[in-house]
Amino acid sequence: MKLSTVLGIDIGTSGTKVVVMSGQGSVLASYTASYPMDVPKPGYAEQHPQDWWQATVEAVRAVIGQVLAQGVDMEVAGISFSGQMHGLVPLDAQGQVIRPSIIWCDLRSVKEAAYLEREIGRAQIITWTQNPPLPNFTLTKLLWMREHEPELFHRIATVLLPKDYVRLQMTGELAMDMSDASGTLLLDVANRKWSREMCDAAGIPFAWLPRLVEANEVAGKLTAEAAQAMGLVAGIPVVAGAADQAAGAVGLGIAEPGVVAAVFGTSGVVLAATAQPQRDPAGRLHTFCHAAPDRWYVMGVTQAAGGSLQWYRRRFAQAAEQAAQSAGKDVYDLLMEQAQSVSPGADGVMFLPYLLGERTPHLDPQATGAWIGLRFHHEAAHLVRAILEGVSYSLKDCYSAMRELGIDATAWRAAGGGANGRVWMDIFASVVGNDVKVLQGAHGPAYGAAILAAQGVQLLSVEESRRLTEGGETVHPRGEWIDRYQKLYPLYGRAYREMKSVMHELVEICE
């Protein structure tokens, strides 16, 4: 008898990850196929949708090969997705991509976000969509195209997001799920439908928006052509899938109020499920539809969480790279060892992780990163420790904004690549002053996507899938660190407020 399995596919920023999961929730294999991010100008970030599709084909073939090599006789019962949010994929009337995708971390549409706020008003936009206008959202990217690429803009017939483009290649069907649509700034999040008012006010044709489906709903079936490319059988149900953060929340069991997740990916996220849409009048937090039809979530975002450590590694850690290679270690493990050797507070060094501007709580695309407190005796280990602490403070900022809405954490869970660093989890637990359970750090949103696939084809019920997230390692805050971080955290907030004007003037002078 063949083993029924599902595929979870995460269309990420640096690569596409595919996991094979059994109907009982065990991950049998995983594989990541990488692709580049183009930066044609400072602040720009683009990717080619065809790269996502080619990486998906490569990764699916690889994981199927891994499972077969284990001697497992399997069949794929369903496929689903998670995906990077906000990325604009404009298609023409023939379904062809018009230009490279402007992805989530692109900041070129700052003026378009300001235009929406000036012409429509932040309060009105939050009323219609639950969220403020930011340059990360899909709508502002569309308005940038209208201003700077009018010939391409007028060729648009359909607007998709990254994972929806890959699903289109698999099924030939146009669709978008509620959680990912929440990040376009064109969805009436509270009522789970497109906002005709927002489309009309922004001048975006309503006909460009695809049909909406829930995340665990079957959106199409695998075509013969796509099946042949991936080495699968035609007709497999393809479930809509969810935005990466919503899918990640599914994989962490964040579905009921009270449990809060911290995700340490390239960006950092603090996320809490709610039974009703919770609106932040100040717009610091995002309110999006969850992957469950009767749930929403509130989310705060740190633009450069793991991204800050990745930036440090690429720019300044050549010696650590060489030492790690000589010792047969992963360079990030070595960086964590360096951070562990430094006392809390990094001997007076503080890091502001605003390398990509900042969303929560500042909504400031012109915020910039900084080390503060450097002295002659400081070494690389102090800088690394300060990065881990600065990102942890930033994530606490997100939670502090949530608490102002009455959202309290009865339990914390953590995931993402950064959650594999034990010293980082020790720091974070001590900064927030709570136990933190680390779950599925290795598989991330792809695991949540696999759970959605299993739900969509009835291999797992929603209740059964929540039991998959039990277990994990609990990290306790360190009593001797808590007091130090309680004193340093207010200084972190002051540092931004007192340096904000300098940051902005530097950006304006040097652009």
The one catalytic residue in 164, 244, 280, 426 is: 244
Cα–Cα distance between 107 and 43 in angstroms, integer? 5
CA distances from 215 to 70, 79, 238, 242 (A): 31, 12, 11, 5
Cβ(436)–Cβ(428) below 8 Å: yes
Cβ(492)–Cβ(391) below 8 Å: no
**Strand 3-11, strand 74-83: pairing:** parallel
CA distances from 343 to 347, 382, 475 (A): 7, 9, 18
Active site residue 435: no
CA-wise closest residue to 212 among 163, 264, 175: 175
**Strand 27-34, strand 74-83: pairing:** unpaired
Q: Kindly tell me the sign of the dihedral angle through the C-alpha atoms of 198, 200, 203, 206.
A: positive
CA-wise closest residue to 300 among 310, 287, 314, 309: 287
Cα–Cα distance between 452 and 217 in angstroms, integer? 8
- Residues forming beta bridges with residue 167, ordered by sequence position: none
Give me the active site residues, please.
244
